[in-house]
Structure 1
Amino acid sequence: MTLSGFWDRRRGGLLFKRDGRRRRWFAGVDKILWWIPLAMIFVAGFLIASTQRQAGYADWYQHWVTAAVGLVIALLLAKVPVERISRWTWPIYGAMVASLIAVRLIGVSALGAQSWINIAGFNVQPSEFAKIAAILLLAQVLSRHPVERPVDLVRPVATISVPWLLVLIQPDLGTSLVFGAVLLVMMFWSGMPGAWVVLLISPVVTSVLAGVVPWLLVLWIPVMAVVAARSLPWKRLAPMAVVAIQGLFAVGTPWLWNNFLQPHQRDRLTLFLDPNKDPLGGGYHLLQSTVGIGSGGWFGTGLLQGHLTLLRFIPEQHTDFIFSALGEETGFLGSALVVLGFVAWIWRLLKIAGQARTDVESLVVIGVGAMVMFQVVVNINMTIGLGPITGIPLPWLSYGRSAMLVNFIGLGLCASVARGIKQPVKRR
């Protein structure tokens, strides 16, 4: 047999077939869905290592190890239809509520909140996993009872209220805000009019205006009354009800501010407006974060080369303020690439949700997208001084075992929906 004949035989034999299977497998991988998070995690390992160069400990390799575990979980979930997972929605939801109650009884406190449970030496944050449980149950509820009438709001709001309240009293204001964002986006996707989203958000705006620029309430409240009259079925009662609710929030905001929020939470919500009021206290994080990001210029100082990062000017930089390390060491270019990566990832989720086989699958993907994107927007605005410090991590980049695993669980659920798109069925 000639060498060329042997080579042709090998190409037509087992090796060629295996190579073909590899090509087909990689061809079926959703590159945007998988590679963007993995690329961010890879870079985050270096950023975390950079923030801890002068510390007596190192978490960067744990970030990668946790990501590896999460990746395995995501790959397994990607092979399981969401419909099959949905059968376990109520047990999952019940377990998460029970874990949130357990936090109040035997939880571990840190950074002003009792949010963790110690399991085999690892601190687990049940509030993170409760996000996924809430998304799964909301998808079930909204697929059967879309929000088309005001009375339809009762079921989804009741669904989210239990974990939201249990997280809020920990107190974990940042995570509780995520539940609200997920609820609004999923209800809108289920068919709720956009005007209703505005009306639901309006009490928050009223509270802010009451504390910052009260005179604007004279314009804001009548506008909301007009929106209510045009979008709600009760043309006379609706505007009066909306005005009463807005007035209640406007008057009640000062009492809630002084009696409900902790001092450090009040500082987080207001000092971003003028961090120089307390440059060595509550405003310290914001001032140092903006200086670090600005010092990166267009191209940054290089990975593991950040000066402010080396000197550890920003406390807890490897968690909530990891974007400041990214800005310093990769500059505007690196920061912009990360932001564009998140935009591309969310755009891919919107496409998957639009092509999903069932309403449940579509809502699950939208819920995961809302969870991730809300955290991205709030975290980045926080680190650049355009928003209050809320303690919300940056997905894939901030160090945190529970948050990382939850992000991968969400990724696995979305990949499962994407995998089943080629097998269309009738939407329920």
Structure 2
Amino acid sequence: MGSRRRDTERVLWWIPLALVAIAGVLIASTQRQAEYADWYQHWITAAFGVGIALLLARLNLERLKPLLIPIYGLTVISLIAVRLIGTSALGAQRWISIAGVHVQPSEFAKLSAILLLAAVLDRHPVERPVDLLRPLGVISLPWLLVFIQPDLGTSLVFGALLLTMLYWSGMPFAWLVLLLAPLGTALLAGLLPWALTAWVPLMMLVAYRSLPWKRLAAGAVLAIQGAVSLITPWLWMHGLKDYQRDRLVLFLDPSKDPLGGGYHLLQSTVGIGSGGWFGTGLLQGQLTKLRFIPEQHTDFIFSALGEETGYVGTVLVVVGFAVLMGRMLQVASRSRTDFESLIVIGVATMLMFQVVVNIFMTIGLGPVTGIPLPFMSYGRSAMVVNFIALGLCLSVARRERNAQNR
């Protein structure tokens, strides 16, 4: 039993380190024709993150509880500071410059939200509809501040965290469906308005059967879904910027704007497809060398992987992520406390959501959202946050193993 626990810890270490190693080579490949190089900074940042993870792995996470509100408050203040003194790039204001280093507070906000939400759900499980107010309050503030930066991709991560952690904490599945219902209503209002005649009554039925004050609950659902269906067209035109609307639509047919909004998707899929079964070889990709794909060292690093390592290389990376997530689920299910279990499931959700969205984006199955690929995309803030999150999971795994050995 102890040997299996150690194997879990080794997997939590070696898969991220292997991903970082191959990513450094791919980043170097994407910048062969450039006057700058970020691959060594990628590895240096990872080494710094490993040091933090090693320290956190020896920490009892229960000791963090008194610090969670100050940490959360600091991240909220940093997100507000982005609006006031932030640095802009690529049409968005998301960074703060500290001693010449660009820090992205939204990355750290994801982690602080996980920690505080885990503590709230541990102390106040969702047993009544009113209990949802606390977790919604924890998530809503950083979500709103990230959304208006604007950073649509990262804001989606907060929604995934909330829903998954609520379900893991024991909230009824029907309530989870009702929380997702406004999203379904918004999509149908824009794509298939006639389908709302079936969707809204179905959600009313779910509310009637699963919530107290049945008639009141069904009426509230009707009012909320009606409001969402009416406000969706306005939000589409005025709540999103032009490039965000293009990203959400053009992935369905990027050839409509091959030199504009669809350019990233077309070049990415061509690059991945050109790799064939075994790829062109590391540092040998021609599309990567000629820099046909913008921002390939960050959001589109998976396309460089596909071109230079082929189908086999991409499958190995996807399997590596799947094994990593599976081991995190094992750690979460064996955790000694609900608080620790919720932290691990939050970390697993954060990483897996980013993996799925990023890969779908690069192969043309999803819109361009600007979500990085964990441990592989270049980005110092994201890398440090990923290793901090890894250290938290290792702490839970080590504490559980030590308890079993006593």
Give 1:14's aligned residue: none
Q: 1:28 to 1:258 in 2, by over 3 A?
A: closer
1:221 aligned to 2:200?
yes
Q: Which amino acid aligns with 1:65?
A: I
RMSD of aligned alpha carbons: 1.5
3-state SS of the aligned residue for 1:72?
Answer: helix
Identity of aligned residues (%): 70
Q: Which amino acid aligns with 1:118?
A: S
Task: Report how far residue 149 of structure 1 moved.
Answer: 1.4
3-state SS of the aligned residue for 1:74?
Answer: helix
1:121 aligned to 2:100?
yes
Give 2:17's aligned residue: 38
3-state SS of the aligned residue for 2:59?
Answer: coil
Determine the C-alpha separation between the residues in 1 that align with 2:83 and 2:134. Answer: 26
Which residue, 68, 73, 81 being the options, matches 1:94?
Answer: 73
- 1:23-422 counterparts in 2 under 5 A? 30-422=9-401
Task: Report how far residue 240 of structure 1 moved.
Answer: 2.2
Determine the C-alpha separation between the residues in 1 that align with 2:192 and 2:8. Answer: 51
Task: Report how far residue 95 of structure 1 moved.
Answer: 1.0
Q: 1:424 to 1:149 in 2, by over 3 A?
A: farther
Task: Report how far residue 177 of structure 1 moved.
Answer: 0.8
Determine the C-alpha separation between the residues in 1 that align with 2:376 and 2:201. Answer: 43
Task: Report how far residue 382 of structure 1 moved.
Answer: 0.9
Task: Report how far residue 86 of structure 1 moved.
Answer: 2.3
Determine the C-alpha separation between the residues in 2 that align with 1:193 and 1:214. Answer: 29
Q: Is the contact made by 2:8 and 2:327 (CA closer than 8 Å) also made in structure 1?
A: no
Q: Which runs of 5 or more structure 1 residues have no equivalent in the other structure?
A: 1-23
3-state SS of the aligned residue for 2:26?
Answer: helix
Determine the C-alpha separation between the residues in 2 that align with 1:215 and 1:327. Answer: 41
- Output one character per residue of 1:80-133: Cα deviation in whole Å (capped at 9) or x when no partner: 111112221111111111111111111001111111000111100011011111
Determine the C-alpha separation between the residues in 1 that align with 2:341 and 2:8. Answer: 20
Task: Report how far residue 219 of structure 1 moved.
Answer: 2.2
Determine the C-alpha separation between the residues in 1 that align with 2:188 and 2:310. Answer: 35
Determine the C-alpha separation between the residues in 2 that align with 1:71 and 1:136. Answer: 20
Determine the C-alpha separation between the residues in 2 that align with 1:124 and 1:378. Answer: 23
Q: Which amino acid aligns with 1:78?
A: A
3-state SS of the aligned residue for 1:391?
Answer: coil
Task: Report how far residue 222 of structure 1 moved.
Answer: 2.1
- Output one character per residue of 1:48-107: Cα deviation in whole Å (capped at 9) or x when no partner: 111111111111111001000000000011011111122211111111111111111110
Task: Report how far residue 326 of structure 1 moved.
Answer: 0.9
Q: Is the contact made by 2:16 and 2:375 (CA closer than 8 Å) also made in structure 1?
A: yes
Determine the C-alpha separation between the residues in 2 that align with 1:423 and 1:139. Answer: 22
Task: Report how far residue 235 of structure 1 moved.
Answer: 2.1
Determine the C-alpha separation between the residues in 2 that align with 1:340 and 1:29. Answer: 16
Determine the C-alpha separation between the residues in 2 that align with 1:273 and 1:213. Answer: 16
Determine the C-alpha separation between the residues in 2 that align with 1:247 and 1:207. Answer: 10
Q: Which amino acid aligns with 1:366?
A: I
Larger radius of gyration: 1
User: Which is further off, 339-348 or 235-244?
Assistant: 235-244
Determine the C-alpha separation between the residues in 1 that align with 2:316 and 2:189. Answer: 38
Determine the C-alpha separation between the residues in 1 that align with 2:223 and 2:360. Answer: 32
3-state SS of the aligned residue for 1:422?
Answer: helix
3-state SS of the aligned residue for 1:118?
Answer: strand
Task: Report how far residue 28 of structure 1 moved.
Answer: 7.3
User: Which is further off, 206-215 or 250-259?
Assistant: 206-215
3-state SS of the aligned residue for 1:236?
Answer: helix
Task: Report how far residue 424 of structure 1 moved.
Answer: 4.4
- Output one character per residue of 1:304-331: Cα deviation in whole Å (capped at 9) or x when no partner: 1112111111100110111111111111
Q: 1:61 to 1:357 in 2, by over 3 A?
A: same
Determine the C-alpha separation between the residues in 1 that align with 2:166 and 2:297. Answer: 34
| Alignment TM-score, normalising by the size of structure 2 | 0.96
User: Which is further off, 210-219 or 75-84?
Assistant: 210-219
Q: Which amino acid aligns with 2:121?
A: L
Q: Is the contact made by 2:86 and 2:96 (CA closer than 8 Å) also made in structure 1?
A: yes
- Output one character per residue of 1:241-263: Cα deviation in whole Å (capped at 9) or x when no partner: 21221121111111011111111
Q: Which runs of 5 or more structure 2 residues have no equivalent in the other structure?
A: none
Determine the C-alpha separation between the residues in 2 that align with 1:29 and 1:199. Answer: 36
User: Which is further off, 112-121 or 205-214?
Assistant: 205-214
Q: 1:45 to 1:230 in 2, by over 3 A?
A: same
3-state SS of the aligned residue for 2:251?
Answer: helix
User: Which is further off, 390-399 or 290-299?
Assistant: 290-299
